[in-house]
Amino acid sequence: MARLSRAQQQARTRTSVLAAAREEFATQGFRDARIDDIADRAELTRGAVYSNFPSKRALYFAVLTDLVERADPPPDPPAAAGTPAQALGALARTWIGRLPLTQGDHGPSRLRTGALAEALTDERTRLPFAQLTSLNAILLATALENLGPRIPRRRRVRIAEIALTTLYGVDQMAAVAPGFGDPFDLVRVCEDLARLDLDDAWLPTYLPYTAPAQPDDQPWSPPEAVDAVRGEPAWLGADGVVAVLGTHRLSAVEEAVRAARPSDALTAVVVTADTDELMPLARWAVTDVVSCLRRAFPAPAWPRLRVVLDHQGVVAAAAGLPRVSDKTETCVRVRAGRIIARATGPGASHAAATYTVREAS
């Protein structure tokens, strides 16, 4: 038998740890799961577990992400999902289909229902999770807007926020009272949400006072990246706007979404100073929602916004940010392989998205 390379051995160890952790979390729950027991299940040492995952929480989020990514490839969305109501109903059916149906269900569905509560048990994760949920609401809202009438294009962020609030609430009820309520009622509620007129307008009050983007002239040579929305490689060299946002500032990406030109490539680069726990949280939170979105919405309606989870900070470094924090908020405008403008601080995404060459003269 050929000897495994170091990379192959590491991949095998990681796979064994994830499988053992999945069983431990499903049967014991997050709080009562023990790293020593996970190591025993995997027939590894405690040190081998920690060499792959720095904490129990990071391992938990990695297990959740692995479950989503290992799910069957999404089928083609039904042809009938051509309206916001139909698509939001399909999203709800997909979401509810992942939940445990009985108190004795210890499969993958039970793992997921406790995730929200665990994300909020530590003060460090609360604001990032809230901002990740806001990012998901923007992604869902723009997909809904793409299915709506082109003129006028209605903002649907508030509807998306209510839908996610409802679905996350269903998660919690499934954790404490599996089988409670009629799933078909929940689907109808989500369908009806899409028909609400909430007078939703994009009116950020501070943007008129935001400092304009400053001219720049730096080469733009972005590294390879993956778009978490589509689950595929993303070429970041196209002309457009790249917003580098810490996990405390993710909702600011809507400034770029609303201000960017129709021809702009639009990318949100998620960064954090806590790559051990917050990046696994970000990976799960985004993947969990967009996996349902891809199943419910036809591909032409998927958001134009690309989301890159910049674990190593390499995209941020290419944008001129060698160091990042969870409060990072920098946006650059790219044209013809160069960064031509840069903005930093509150309003940066709006400033870079609205920048024109005339501003430099």
75: in domain: no
Average pLDDT, integer, range 225-244: 96
Residues 236 and 149 in one domain: no
Per-residue pLDDT band for 360 (boundaries 50, 70, 90) equals very low
**Which helix (H) or strand (E) segment is 90 a member of?**
helix 84-96
Residue type, 228: A
Residues 314 and 214 in one domain: yes
User: What is the C-alpha to C-alpha distance for residues 234 and 225, in angstroms, rounded to an integer?
Assistant: 6
Q: Dihedral through CA 270, CA 272, CA 276, CA 282, nearest 10?
A: -30
281: in domain: yes
Residues 109 and 249 in one domain: no
Q: Is residue 13 within 8 Å of 34, Cβ to Cβ?
A: no
333: in domain: yes
Taking phi over 0 as left and psi of -120 to 50 as alpha, with beta for the rest, 285 belongs to: alpha
201: in domain: no
Q: Is residue 356 within 8 Å of 284, Cβ to Cβ?
A: no
| Cα 16 off chain centre by | 26
Taking phi over 0 as left and psi of -120 to 50 as alpha, with beta for the rest, 309 belongs to: beta
63: in domain: no
Angle at 271 (CA atoms; ends 112, 295), nearest 5 degrees:
40
**Interval 59-115: pLDDT, tens:** 999 998 888 887 755 555 555 568 999 999 999 999 988 876 544 555 566 677 767
**Interval 290-299: pLDDT, tens:** 999 999 999 9
* pLDDT reported for residue 237: 95
Report the b/e string of 53-92 with b at 16+ CB within 10 A: beebbbbbbbbbbbbbeeeeeeeebeeebeebbbbbbbbb
User: What is the C-alpha to C-alpha distance for residues 214 and 137, in angstroms, rounded to an integer?
Assistant: 30
Structurally, how many domains does the chain consist of? 3
**Interval 126-147: pLDDT, tens:** 999 999 999 999 999 999 999 9
Q: Is residue 211 within 8 Å of 347, Cβ to Cβ?
A: yes
Residues 182 and 316 in one domain: no
Residues 111 and 166 in one domain: yes
Residue 221 CB: number of other CB atoms within 10 A? 10
145: in domain: yes
Residues 297 and 236 in one domain: yes
144: in domain: yes
**Interval 155-204: pLDDT, tens:** 999 999 999 999 998 888 877 777 787 888 999 999 999 999 888 988 87
Residue type, 8: Q
**Which helix (H) or strand (E) segment is 330 a member of?**
strand 329-335
Flag whether the pTM goes above 0.85: yes
Residues 349 and 213 in one domain: yes
Residues 281 and 309 in one domain: yes
Residue type, 222: P
Q: Using CB atoms within 10 Å of the CB of residue 325, give its burial: 0 to 12 exposed, 13 to 18 middle, 19+ buried.
A: middle
In degrees and rounded to multiples of 5, residue 112 shows phi and psi of: -75, -35
Three-state DSSP state, 351: helix
Residues 171 and 244 in one domain: no
Residues 186 and 272 in one domain: no
164: in domain: yes
* pLDDT reported for residue 361: 44
Pick from 122, 61, 91, 115: which is nearest to 282 by CA? Answer: 61
- The CATH number for 35's domain is 1.10.10.60
- The edge-to-edge listing of strands for the beta sheet with 214-219 is 214-219, 338-344, 329-335, 240-246, 265-271, 306-309
**Which helix (H) or strand (E) segment is 16 a member of?**
helix 6-32
Domain membership of residue 250 as a residue range: 209-360
Residues 176 and 250 in one domain: no
* pLDDT reported for residue 5: 76
Residues 339 and 243 in one domain: yes
